[in-house]
Amino acid sequence: MELLRDFGPHPICNRYLTAADAPEFTHPMVIGQCGACGLVQTLDPVPAAELVPAVDWIAYNEPEGHLDAVAETLASLPGLKPGAVCVGVSFKDDTLVARMQQRGFSTWRLEMERDLGITRKGCGVESIQARLDGARAAAITAQRGHADLVIARHILEHAHDLRGFIAAVRALAKPGGYVVFEVPDCTLAFDLKDITTLWEEHTVYFTPATFQGTVATGGAALVNFVIHPYPFENCLVGVTRTDANAMPTTMTRETLASEQSRARAFAASLSVRRDELRGYLADFRARHGKVAVLGAGHLACTWIHLVGLAEFIEFLADDNPHKQNHFLPGARLPIRGSASLLTENIKLCLLAVSPEAEPKVIARNCEFVERGGRIASIFPASRNALVIEKPA
């Protein structure tokens, strides 16, 4: 395992602070890369129990624009007919499972307490991946029966034991059944040196090559693989069949070299990017005025903390009333409503909202722009990305 970067203590982004000086749990964020398969991964994952939100209003959304196409692909798989049983592993699968129900499938989803023995409130995929193992899968199928189709969207990247989790999910399907894995594609983020792709809740960071290799290493043979494009982060969807066992394959020398080059360049760029951003914001504050960030989610938390920007930012603006009057983990900056952009005379507003939501957010803050405020995105792939011009 090659060490790429040790960021030191990192906060839990869903633990909003009630006071600027409140005690805070942190855990080392250390990123490395497997020398054999090229998979970028967290070397010391945060224990699952520490990732469970302490409040009930934390919500995460995954891309869904491609799900109709995925549903059509799944419905046409050989051997699947109306009445076939489709099972979702987590709440993230609900919308795709609903699409399969509309196509005549009999559907259900794993239940936290009944199937997994999870009674703690607020638990999500971090707890499902920790609890779902081979023995648990066997107990579930003994009671409920095997599924014809199992769906596991955006949970594999949270797994602490990749091979074990893949095997457990596959065990929910009957012989000859199908298992669908969907994960985010980090290729563009790595290429654009976008540090917000890092998150303490993710244990691995897939590219198309490492995703396919990981699934094969877990003993699952892909029968269908599609990259669904999105402006900032593609979705990788792989369909496996339980009776198609894949032998672990060795990544080609050329592909491995490409994965290593990408990851090393990403890690090496972070110090340079840190210096650029800190220098730019210090100069902007001195020349033009105050800076704030709009969007107080995990993307902002990661960006501000890992780059070390808290000293240049006045506050976080967020219109989620639950977040207001709290403080951002790590940075310990106050969170206020977006009206504060005007009342606090902010001159630069940096967007850390969902990239797809940027146009609507900018439109809602047109008065800020009309009064001379500037809006830019923290995401390099955005058309609104903050541009730092380098000296000639």
Q: Which domain holds residue 320?
A: 255-377
Within this chain, do residues 109 and 197 fall inside the same structural domain, yes or no? Answer: yes
Nearest alpha carbon to residue 312 among 279, 337, 341: 279
Within this chain, do residues 240 and 327 fall inside the same structural domain, yes or no? Answer: no
Domain of 337, CATH number, reads 3.40.50.720
Domain end point (choices 226, 251, 276): 251
Domain end point (choices 235, 251, 267): 251
Within this chain, do residues 247 and 260 fall inside the same structural domain, yes or no? Answer: no
Within this chain, do residues 294 and 177 fall inside the same structural domain, yes or no? Answer: no
Flag whether 270 is in a domain.
Answer: yes
Query: Residue 6 region, left (φ>0) first, then alpha (ψ -120 to 50), else beta?
Result: beta
> Distance between CA 4 and CA 66 in Å, rounded?
33
User: Looking at the chain, how many residues does it have?
Assistant: 392
Within this chain, do residues 179 and 270 fall inside the same structural domain, yes or no? Answer: no
Q: Output the tens digit of pLDDT for each of the chain's 392 residues.
A: 999 999 999 999 999 999 999 999 999 999 999 999 999 999 999 999 999 999 989 988 899 999 999 999 999 999 999 999 999 999 999 999 999 999 999 999 999 999 999 999 999 999 999 999 999 999 999 999 999 999 999 999 999 999 999 999 999 999 999 999 999 999 999 999 999 999 999 999 999 999 999 998 877 788 999 999 998 999 999 999 988 665 555 678 999 999 999 999 999 999 999 999 999 999 999 999 999 999 999 999 999 999 999 999 999 999 999 999 999 999 999 999 999 999 999 999 999 998 888 999 999 999 999 999 999 999 999 999 999 876 54
Q: What is the pLDDT of residue 246?
A: 55
Within this chain, do residues 141 and 219 fall inside the same structural domain, yes or no? Answer: yes
Extract the tokens encoding 51: 């990732």
Domain of 172, CATH number, reads 3.40.50.150
Within this chain, do residues 239 and 325 fall inside the same structural domain, yes or no? Answer: no
Flag whether 11 is in a domain.
Answer: no
> Distance between CA 80 and CA 93 in Å, rounded?
19
Contact of 312 with 280, CB cutoff 8 Å? no
Strand-strand pairing, 2-11 and 346-351: unpaired
Q: How many domains does the chain have?
A: 2
Within this chain, do residues 42 and 158 fall inside the same structural domain, yes or no? Answer: yes
Within this chain, do residues 64 and 139 fall inside the same structural domain, yes or no? Answer: yes
Q: What is the pLDDT of residue 356?
A: 84
Q: What is the pLDDT of residue 392?
A: 47
Domain end point (choices 251, 284, 311): 251
Within this chain, do residues 123 and 166 fall inside the same structural domain, yes or no? Answer: yes
Within this chain, do residues 313 and 296 fall inside the same structural domain, yes or no? Answer: yes
Contacts of 239 (CB under 8 A, 6+ apart): 73, 74, 77, 178, 179, 180, 222, 223, 224, 225
Name residue 40's beta-bridge partners: 33, 205
> Distance between CA 333 and CA 330 in Å, rounded?
8
Flag whether 387 is in a domain.
Answer: no
> Distance between CA 137 and CA 141 in Å, rounded?
6
